[in-house]
């Protein structure tokens, strides 16, 4: 049910300088989704009547992601006045003038915070009738964060930013998590009083706390139960720490759902992946995008699957696959490269050192060794010989190879597309198939072998090969 008294502001305008990146900080991926998408998903769960996102740096890129992830979000452009205070001031101005409920402010770069924690925080803010509440955490290393300054009685007094803090204040371990609940009216009043008179020349949202306190309002800092919940991402070290934390949560979630994950430390699973019970994930595996794995499948070791579908009881080992579908009971790997559009039927096989692309390989069909199968259709229960290549590209266009059912192709075959091989066909080893082959035919086109006797001794006299040939002839009659 929509909470008519709740508006959420997501701060997403900052530059993210510390990332040192051409990509806006909030669009760096975390478990397969942009950082800001995690914050938007949490915002959505709280069912606020208004959600505003403030953008500025790389505004179009960020706004596009916000609109995609949470349609209906009000996008507000921050002007040239910098700081989180200015961002909130402009966001507030975009709400209906008579909105008088609670305003929850979320930092776009604090992605692990979940809706349950925020709902409890909001509940406490409301129960205590505070004008401002701040989520805080106690960190062993609080460097970079704003510090929560308490008075002699231990009451929350104000927030001081790292860059403005005295040595004594920097020693404070309780930090401002950048998550706030405000009464809309009190917030509106105090935002008007902010100045840029500080080390960064910005309007700090955090100064609203001190102003409210000075005006006699009730403000409180609410420590979060688990400090990692409010970890902010400012640089790439924090990005990888946060990613590892989130991954550990995701892995554990699947383990508790009945998935065997042999080595959580080397298994990376994106948020959108779905895994059925009794799947086994072996070490060194990355499951990315919208990958789906059905029950009984064994994936890994050392396998990367991006947007793949793996069928029941299939086995995929030491494989790199993107946008591929592997049928029930099928087997892939080791050392296979499945590119987009690969569909392997039930009980099929793609074996060692095989690359596939836009390839539909039917039920029970096998490409076991050392092959490239691209732009091809293979029927059911066919076997493609070791070292086969579909020559799909004529330098200008790509063409298809169609191979029927119950076909046996010889080793080292080349299929020069476009070409069709009928049902039940055999091809000889080393055949270059340039013409269609009708059902039931044996196709061969390799020139008959000629043995030119004595050629090595005549043309390579004095070499080790010639001497070996001489020795072999001396020791017995040459084979005819
Ligand atoms: C901010 C807090 C700090 C807190 C920390 C928690 C302020 C002044 N400081 O510091 O007390 O400990 O978060 O993570 O608020 N943004 C805008 N417009 C701007 C500047 C920033 O929308 O003009 C957005 C950023 O995109 C980001 C968030 O606000 O999502 C926080 O900005 P950032 O520059 O990372 O603030 P911190 O220095 O981390
Ligand atoms: Ca930050």
| Residue 197 sits in the same domain as residue 291 | no
- Indicate the pLDDT class of residue 447, thresholds 50, 70 and 90: confident
Protein residue with its CA nearest to atom 22 in ligand 1: 13
What digits encode the pLDDT tens for the residues 142-200?
Answer: 999 999 999 999 999 999 999 999 999 999 999 999 999 999 999 999 999 999 999 99
| Residue 72 sits in the same domain as residue 171 | yes
The percent of residues in the chain predicted with pLDDT above 70, rounded, is 99
User: Do the Cβ atoms of 310 and 297 come closer than 8 Å?
Assistant: yes
Residue 220 in domain: yes
What digits encode the pLDDT tens for the residues 274-310?
Answer: 999 999 999 999 999 999 999 999 999 999 999 999 9
Among 369, 381, 399, 406, the active-site one is 369
Range of the domain at 69: 3-230
Number of domains in the chain: 2
Tokens 């390839």 found at: 359
- Indicate the pLDDT class of residue 80, thresholds 50, 70 and 90: very high
User: Do the Cβ atoms of 266 and 286 come closer than 8 Å?
Assistant: no
| Active-site annotation holds for 369 | yes
| Model confidence at 477: pLDDT above 80 | no
What digits encode the pLDDT tens for the residues 198-219?
Answer: 999 999 999 999 999 999 999 9
From the CA of 137, the nearest ligand is 1
From the CA of 162, the nearest ligand is 1
What digits encode the pLDDT tens for the residues 2-52?
Answer: 999 999 999 999 989 999 999 999 999 999 999 999 999 999 999 999 999
| Residue 8 sits in the same domain as residue 99 | yes
Residue 238 in domain: no
Phi-psi region of 159 (alpha: psi -120 to 50; beta: other; left: phi over 0): beta
CA–CA gap between residue 340 and residue 308 (Å, rounded): 9
Closest-lying ligand 1 atom to the alpha carbon of residue 54: 22
Residue 277, domain CATH = 2.160.10.10
Residue 237 in domain: no
* H or E stretch covering 105: strand 102-107
What tokens were used for 131?
A: 């004008």
| Residue 274 sits in the same domain as residue 371 | yes
Residue 80 in domain: yes
User: Do the Cβ atoms of 392 and 417 come closer than 8 Å?
Assistant: yes
| Residue 193 sits in the same domain as residue 291 | no
What digits encode the pLDDT tens for the residues 242-260?
Answer: 999 999 999 999 999 999 9
Closest-lying ligand 1 atom to the alpha carbon of residue 82: 23
| Residue 145 sits in the same domain as residue 23 | yes
- Indicate the pLDDT class of residue 446, thresholds 50, 70 and 90: confident
| Residue 168 sits in the same domain as residue 253 | no
CA–CA gap between residue 253 and residue 12 (Å, rounded): 29
Protein residue with its CA nearest to atom 35 in ligand 1: 234
Residue 342 in domain: yes
Protein residue with its CA nearest to atom 13 in ligand 1: 178
| Residue 419 sits in the same domain as residue 344 | yes
Pocket flag, ligand 1, residue 84 (CB < 6 Å): yes
| Residue 220 sits in the same domain as residue 144 | yes
What predicted TM-score, i.e. pTM, was given to this entire model? 0.92
| Model confidence at 328: pLDDT above 80 | yes
Closest-lying ligand 1 atom to the alpha carbon of residue 234: 35
Cα of 434 from ligand 1 centre, angstroms? 65
When pLDDT is averaged across residues 355-362 and rounded to a whole number, the result is 98
Residue 87, domain CATH = 3.90.550.10
Residue 466 in domain: no
| Residue 380 sits in the same domain as residue 413 | yes
Residue 468 in domain: no
Residue 130 in domain: yes
Pocket flag, ligand 1, residue 145 (CB < 6 Å): yes
| Residue 151 sits in the same domain as residue 291 | no
| Residue 224 sits in the same domain as residue 253 | no
């Amino acid at each position: 049910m929509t909470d008519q008294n709740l508006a959420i502001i997501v701060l997403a305008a900052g530059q993210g300088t510390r990332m040192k990146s051409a990509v806006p900080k909030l669009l760096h991926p975390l478990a397969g989704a942009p950082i800001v998408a995690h914050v938007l998903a949490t915002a959505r769960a709280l069912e606020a009547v208004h959600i505003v996102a403030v953008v500025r740096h790389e505004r179009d890129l960020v706004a596009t992601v916000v609109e995609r992830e949470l349609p209906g979000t009000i996008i507000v452009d921050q002007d040239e006045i910098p700081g989180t205070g200015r961002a909130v001031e402009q966001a507030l101005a975009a709400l209906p003038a008579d909105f008088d409920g609670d305003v929850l402010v979320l930092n776009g770069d604090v992605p692990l915070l979940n809706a349950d924690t925020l709902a409890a925080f909001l509940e406490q803010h409301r129960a205590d009738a505070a004008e401002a509440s701040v989520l805080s955490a106690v960190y062993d290393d609080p460097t970079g964060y704003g510090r929560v300054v308490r008075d002699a009685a231990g009451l929350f007094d104000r927030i001081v930013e790292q860059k403005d803090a005295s040595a004594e204040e920097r020693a404070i371990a309780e930090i401002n998590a950048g998550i706030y609940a405000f009464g809309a009216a009190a917030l509106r009043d105090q935002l008007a009083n902010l100045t840029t008179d500080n080390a960064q020349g910005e309007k700090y949202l955090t100064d609203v706390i001190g102003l409210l306190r000075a005006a006699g309002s009730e403000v409180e800092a609410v420590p979060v139960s688990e400090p990692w919940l409010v970890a902010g991402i400012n640089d790439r070290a924090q990005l990888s720490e946060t990613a590892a934390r989130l991954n550990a949560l995701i892995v554990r979630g699947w383990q508790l759902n009945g998935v065997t994950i042999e080595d959580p430390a080397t298994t990376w699973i994106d948020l959108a992946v779905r895994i059925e019970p009794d799947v086994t994930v072996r070490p060194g595996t990355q499951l990315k995008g919208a990958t789906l794995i059905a029950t009984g499948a064994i994936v890994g070791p050392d396998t990367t699957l991006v947007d793949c579908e793996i069928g029941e009881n299939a086995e995929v080992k030491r494989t790199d696959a993107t946008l591929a579908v592997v049928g029930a009971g099928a087997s892939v790997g080791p050392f296979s490269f499945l590119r987009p559009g690969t569909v392997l039927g039930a009980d099929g096989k793609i074996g060692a050192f095989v690359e596939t692309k836009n390839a539909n390989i039917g039920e029970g069909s096998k490409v076991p060794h050392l092959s490239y199968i691209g732009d091809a259709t293979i029927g059911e229960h066919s076997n493609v010989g070791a070292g086969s290549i579909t020559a799909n590209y004529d330098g200008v266009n790509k063409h298809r190879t169609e191979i029927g059912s119950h076909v046996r192709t010889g080793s080292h075959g080349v299929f020069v597309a476009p070409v069709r091989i009928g049902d039940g066909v055999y091809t000889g080893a080393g055949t270059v198939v340039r013409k269609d082959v009708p059902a039931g035919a044996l196709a061969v086109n390799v020139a008959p072998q000629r043995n030119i006797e004595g050629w090595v001794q005549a043309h390579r006299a004095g070499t080790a090969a010639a001497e070996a040939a001489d020795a072999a002839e001396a020791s017995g009659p040459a084979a005819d």
